[in-house]
Structure 1
């Protein structure tokens, strides 16, 4: 039974985060190489702008803002799942190799397979999931120890090993491709938000609509998995099955996100940890807060990055790394 006090606190935090997302989105709508006047912004939103204003807002800025929010939500929920099932605050889909698996699959698909414009947008999340799922499956197999089953710490260590190996494979793939395609892969690796049209949003939304409610449904199981294995097993939790299904959900969320945003790291690390500090360890309360924090962090990072340098700005992945790397070192020092 969750105390009423915590529920009210969660509602307040969610309200504050929603206000932050709205405020950051409004600021982002006005900023850019072709700025929109904030005095005109609400008129444009209501459909009373000029053709140029409508094009800038509805065809360029708004889809990008929505993509960053949705991708940030997916990465944050993926990170919350991984941290819960491994009982490790340092777990993150980028750190343990899921991003690298998705990236290699996208690189192979983009470099060596014929691409049809109409289906490319919708195939990317599927291709990314296939690569990430294969990577997650190998991590799962190599993390199982005979006699003691799946070891959470082995998931982290094995994932880091796979991440390094797959990063090397990505370099080999990039060196064998033609210049134009290599430029795209390089931008993807740096976390440059490139899927900024409405079809990319349509391709991403179904993954979130299915997997986030599933994760919330499994929140109590995540609470139990966060306990000691002996305690969890004594409470009737099927450890192997639950970890496998949750690993698949985390993999699908992360791969769908990075298929349109590129290699964004540390959102899945920071957002759940911040949420845990705000509301405590119960995943029923933690996951919605982590989701909004992740959406806000990625949108803020992209807004800052694209306005810092002309003409193309700084990729959002670099901005999140500049914030997330010191945070990761702080957590590592705190753990050790």
Structure 2
């Protein structure tokens, strides 16, 4: 998709500022809404240390960790999807379709299945162990996909098809382990797999934050490699790029982002698929612009979805993954209709 004619650095900066302003506005809306409503003034007073003990408990212990997690997860999944679409040269690639989310999810379900009784899921230790389990599962899924797709190199179309098959296999394994769980663990795993920021506490924020702060800037640093890979393997090799080395490195970054985000937010589908397309429509095909815009749009979309899920049927909460799917499906259908 071509960038709009006349698009320049000033336009890009204006878009960045606009998205940040929307995120800040939505941030205060999210803090204000919930089962117990707080006015914007009460939110501001509480944030600067002038709120009541009850207001501080609501904001700092319940709402703020969930909102920050939504921002981090949205940014991570969106950038992971942007990388995968660039690496596979396929506009319909994302961590969910390729089986990376399912591989990470299977690892987390195994963690719940085997260690639920010996390690509290709400403990600080589990918050740091779960992303590691998810990362191992995501890397295993990516390695298996890459291995099965290899045939004198990796063809992007073959990579997608193998990913869909591996995704189906891991989904079947997930069902098997879910059926063996006790009812409480089964319910927890089912809600989590639907995409739910189910343990919104500061431990998960601190566990996820390093992954986002390190890997997204690194992805921006490698944006030019994505641009070159999008030209095709032959042209990229002709320009002096080590195609397989760059592809593996970028896949590892995408897998690590997806795995860490799945550990905290469950199987949130479509976000990594739709957000890069939105970014591409706004700023064109250059990954130096796509990745930063995807970061902000992904964070904004997941925070909006999380707020809708927690308020539309309050006090009942809808898993954020379901809300994302509802919001994204019309655009996904539009993409399919436009794909030639």
TM range (shorter): over 0.9
Q: Is the contact between residue 124 and residue 203 of structure 2 (CA under 8 Å) also seen in structure 1?
A: no
Corresponding residue to 2:138 among 132, 140, 144: 132
Cα shift readout 1:12-58 (whole Å, capped 9, x = no counterpart) = 11101001101111111110001112232211111100000111111
1:103 and 2:109 matched: no
1:263 shift after superposition? 0.8
The equivalent of 2:223 in structure 1 is: 219
Consecutive unaligned residues of structure 2, counting only runs of 5 or more, are none
The aligned residue for residue 201 of structure 1 is 205
Give the superposition deviation at 1:285.
Answer: 1.2
Work out the number of aligned pairs and report it: 333
Residues 286-323 of structure 1 deviation map (CA, whole Å, 9 limit, x = unaligned): 11011000000000001001111132311110011112
Cα distance between partner residues in 2 of 1:139 and 1:75: 19
Match of 2:84 in 1: 82
Is 1:6–1:279's contact at 8 Å kept on the other side of the alignment? no
Q: Who is 1:232 aligned against?
A: 236
Per-residue CA shift, 1:236-287, capped at 9, x if unaligned?
1111111111111000001111111111111111111111111111111111
For 1:67, the equivalent position in structure 2 comes to 69
* 1:45 matched residue in structure 2: 47
Residues 264 and 46 of structure 1: CA distance in aligned 2, closer, same or farther (over 3 Å) = same
Name the counterpart of 2:251.
247
Cα offset for 1:118?
3.6
Question: Aligned-pair distance for 1:96?
Answer: 1.0
Q: Please state whether the residue corresponding to 1:25 is helix, strand or coil.
A: helix
Runs of 4+ in 1 over 3 A off after TM superposition: 2-5
Name the stretch that deviates more: 221-230 or 2-11: 2-11
Query: 2-side partners of 1:106 and 1:297: how far apart?
Result: 25
Counterpart in the other structure of 1:307:
311
Aligned residues of 1:77 and 1:250 also touching (Cα < 8 A) = yes
Contact kept in structure 1, 2:107 and 2:134, CA below 8 Å:
yes
SS in 1 for 2:8: helix
> Matched residues in 1 for 2:329 and 2:148: separation?
27
Determine which of 174, 187, 192 is the counterpart of 1:188: 192
User: Retained in 2: the 8 A contact 1:90–1:328?
Assistant: no
- Residues 1:19 and 2:25 aligned together: no
Q: Quote the RMSD (CA, aligned, Å).
A: 1.5
Looking at structure 2, the residues matched to 282 and 127 of structure 1 have their Cα atoms a distance apart, in angstroms, of 33
Aligned to 1:281: 285
Normalized against structure 1, the TM-score is what? 0.96
Shift of 1:4: 9.7
1:327 aligned to 2:331? yes
